């Protein structure tokens, strides 16, 4: 746990009855919310974490230290119950990447949240919004963030609205966009907004301000600009990143004809950030976003050593990435509109047609080695099958607005429930036993992929392997399920069935071979994992 928030100046104030305030945190499956929870705990607050699917938080390291509550931010009754006996409510949800109606959705959700907080007697709302210039026509994204802040300030509940520009930290969408543009393109033509002035801020300092906002004087109802010590252009930031990452200086040629719409499509193809998220981020970069005041320092003093500068924040982010310590990522938040239904019970599912591709292979290696391969699948490690086919399908998905394969994975060796994995979302993990993935690609239906470790006895009992299979055999079981949506879904499945032997059959053979090769190379499974980690670090250093 990062304990940068453990500072008496931002620590929870103990009340006369010996208790500390109870805070409600929304957006806990997202980038900021998932990092704020442990910071609030470290600062002594009692934390209630709100999520639509709290069971997906079970493997978070802080899950046992908080009160998990199930609620939807758009449901007033559920919110009212979640806010019962809450002192401070953190609003960290937004509709970034949700589609053309995101402004309307943000407006409705903010009003619902504000009215529920007022009815529940919440003493303060804390909102992290966007930094914007005064007197200019704002992009849709920044305009919506400003409107949400204004809704809270006019709600009758004392509200603290923190306004930040680009947040620099491992896993933030803004940082990943900048990092990938810089690393992938030694020379680029860019929109003229690369000359816009920006005051970036390190995610650690954002978290410190968020924690400190809970103890501002009662009745405080205003916005605060928050930013780091540096003011740079976006071009400066890319060149600065290149220097810190050991890359050659980039050739950057601004063109006035490259519109934000075109730029967002380009960013969506070049970086892991999909167009639906890149578009509002790019649209906001047309503005100069520099702090107009620094009043927050009156209430939340700078940490010892001062705020983190741009170069140091990049170094910290890269260190986290290289050491596999990316706590949360922009990928962590589920995409609105992506399927969220649990896997239907098979075979007694009453939901209609369910297509299944079911395959099993005996693996001549211990189960630990097979598991090491399965939990490392995807991202840079690939999918152990027809690579051109996966790549082509990924590009098609990106073209039609899906995530494609560029999201990669948060950690190259371990998976947790809720992680994005290329165009999949990890829906279930049983350590040493099962990884269940739910598709978030553009599909005329719902799809899942189960990858599991079985014994020969289990495979025989289920009728997946013959009676001559030894009971103690190690079996790789792979099951793809597809619930079609109408005729287009049925035609889609029919059209791809001929490729299953290549894609899924190849995965069966190649995963088994990879586990067997890993066993021959290193019979000690723990040592194998250490070797894999070192191999990834070496690859990253070489890249």
Evaluate if residue 149 carries a pLDDT over 60.
Answer: yes
Residue 361 and residue 512 in contact, taking contact as beta carbons nearer than 8 Å = yes
| Average pLDDT of the chain, as a whole number | 85
Which pLDDT does position 508 carry in this prediction?
93
CA separation for the pair 114, 111 (Å, rounded): 5
User: Among 133-147, 188-202, 245-259, 318-332, which stretch is predicted with the lowest mean pLDDT?
Assistant: 318-332
CA separation for the pair 39, 102 (Å, rounded): 29
More confident: 111 or 412: 111
Evaluate if residue 537 carries a pLDDT over 80.
Answer: no
- Say what percent of the chain tops pLDDT 90: 46
CA separation for the pair 257, 234 (Å, rounded): 18
Which pLDDT does position 287 carry in this prediction?
82
Cβ count near 74 (within 10 Å): 14
Which pLDDT does position 534 carry in this prediction?
67
Read off the pLDDT of residues 8-24 as tens digits, 9 standing for 90 and up: 788 998 988 889 999 99
Cβ count near 468 (within 10 Å): 7
| DSSP, res 330 | G
Which pLDDT does position 342 carry in this prediction?
46
Mean pLDDT of 252-271: 70
- Name the band, by pLDDT with cuts 50, 70 and 90, for residue 189: confident
Evaluate if residue 1 carries a pLDDT over 90.
Answer: no
Read off the pLDDT of residues 518-532 as tens digits, 9 standing for 90 and up: 899 888 877 776 766
177-206 burial: b if 16+ Cβ within 10 Å, else e: bbbbbbbebeebebbebbebebbbbbbbbb
Residue 86 and residue 48 in contact, taking contact as beta carbons nearer than 8 Å = yes
More confident: 283 or 77: 77
Residue 435 and residue 451 in contact, taking contact as beta carbons nearer than 8 Å = yes
Which pLDDT does position 148 carry in this prediction?
95
CA separation for the pair 541, 44 (Å, rounded): 39
474-508 burial: b if 16+ Cβ within 10 Å, else e: bbbbbbbbbbbbeeebbebbeeeeeeeeebbbbbb
Which pLDDT does position 347 carry in this prediction?
34
Which pLDDT does position 100 carry in this prediction?
62
Evaluate if residue 281 carries a pLDDT over 80.
Answer: no
Which pLDDT does position 261 carry in this prediction?
65
Cβ count near 348 (within 10 Å): 6
Evaluate if residue 298 carries a pLDDT over 90.
Answer: yes
Mean pLDDT of 442-468: 91
Evaluate if residue 331 carries a pLDDT over 70.
Answer: no
Of the CA atoms within 13 Å of residue 60, those in its CB half-sphere come to 28
CA separation for the pair 8, 10 (Å, rounded): 5
Evaluate if residue 330 carries a pLDDT over 70.
Answer: no
Cβ count near 20 (within 10 Å): 18
More confident: 450 or 411: 450
Whose tokens are 């940490």? That residue is 303
What token pair was written down for 136?
């200019």
């Amino acid at each position: 746990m990062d304990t940068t928030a453990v500072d008496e100046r931002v620590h929870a104030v103990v009340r006369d009855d010996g208790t500390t305030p109870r805070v409600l945190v929304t957006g806990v499956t997202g980038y900021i919310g998932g990092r704020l929870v442990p910071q609030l705990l470290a600062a002594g607050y009692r934390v209630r974490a709100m999520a639509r699917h709290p069971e997906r938080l079970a493997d978070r390291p802080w899950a046992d230290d908080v009160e998990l509550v199930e609620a939807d931010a758009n449901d007033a009754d559920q919110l009212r119950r979640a806010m019962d006996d809450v002192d401070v409510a953190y609003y960290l949800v937004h509709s970034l990447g949700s589609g053309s109606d995101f402004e309307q959705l943000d407006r409705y959700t903010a009003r619902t949240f504000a009215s529920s907080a007022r009815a529940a007697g919440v003493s303060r709302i804390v909102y992290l919004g966007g930094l914007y210039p005064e007197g200019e026509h704002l992009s849709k994204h920044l305009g919506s963030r400003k409107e949400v802040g204004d809704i809270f300030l006019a709600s009758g509940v004392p509200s603290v609205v923190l306004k930040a520009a680009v947040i620099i930290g491992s896993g933030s969408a803004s940082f990943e966009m900048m990092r990938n543009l810089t690393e992938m393109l030694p020379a680029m033509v860019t929109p003229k907004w690369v000359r816009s002035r920006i005051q970036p801020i390190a995610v650690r300092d954002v978290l410190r301000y968020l924690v400190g906002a809970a103890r501002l004087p009662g009745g405080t109802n205003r916005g605060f600009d928050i930013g780091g010590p540096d003011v740079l252009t976006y071009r400066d930031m890319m060149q600065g990143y290149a220097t810190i990452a050991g890359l050659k200086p980039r050739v950057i040629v601004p063109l006035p004809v490259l519109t934000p719409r075109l730029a967002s499509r380009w960013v969506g193809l070049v970086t892991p950030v999909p167009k639906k998220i890149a578009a509002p981020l790019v649209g906001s970069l047309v503005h100069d976003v520099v702090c107009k005041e620094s009043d927050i320092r009156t209430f939340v003093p700078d940490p010892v050593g001062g705020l983190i500068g741009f170069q140091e924040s990049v170094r910290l982010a890269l260190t986290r990435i290289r050491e596999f310590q990316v706590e949360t990522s922009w990928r962590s938040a589920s995409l609105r509109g992506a399927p969220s239904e649990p896997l239907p019970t098979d075979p007694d599912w009453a939901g209609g047609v369910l297509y299944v591709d079911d395959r099993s292979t005996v693996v001549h290696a211990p189960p630990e080695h097979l598991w090491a391969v399965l939990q490392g699948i995807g991202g840079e490690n690939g999918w152990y099958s027809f690579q051109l086919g996966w790549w082509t399908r990924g590009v098609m998905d990106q073209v039609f607005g899906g995530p494609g394969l560029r999201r990669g994975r948060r950690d190259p060796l371990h998976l947790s429930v809720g992680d994005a994995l290329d165009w999949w979302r990890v829906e279930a993990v049983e350590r040493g036993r099962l990884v269940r993935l739910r598709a978030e690609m553009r599909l005329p239906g719902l799809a899942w992929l189960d990858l599991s470790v079985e014994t020969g006895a289990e495979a025989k009992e289920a009728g997946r392997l013959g009676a001559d299979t030894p009971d103690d055999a190690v079996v790789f079981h792979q099951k793809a399920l597809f619930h079609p949506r109408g005729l287009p879904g049925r035609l889609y499945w029919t059209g791809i069935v001929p490729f299953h032997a290549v894609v899924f059959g190849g995965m069966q053979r190649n995963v088994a071979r990879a586990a067997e090769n890993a066993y021959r190379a290193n019979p000690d499974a723990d040592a194998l994992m250490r070797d894999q980690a070192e191999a990834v670090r070496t690859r990253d250093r070489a890249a």
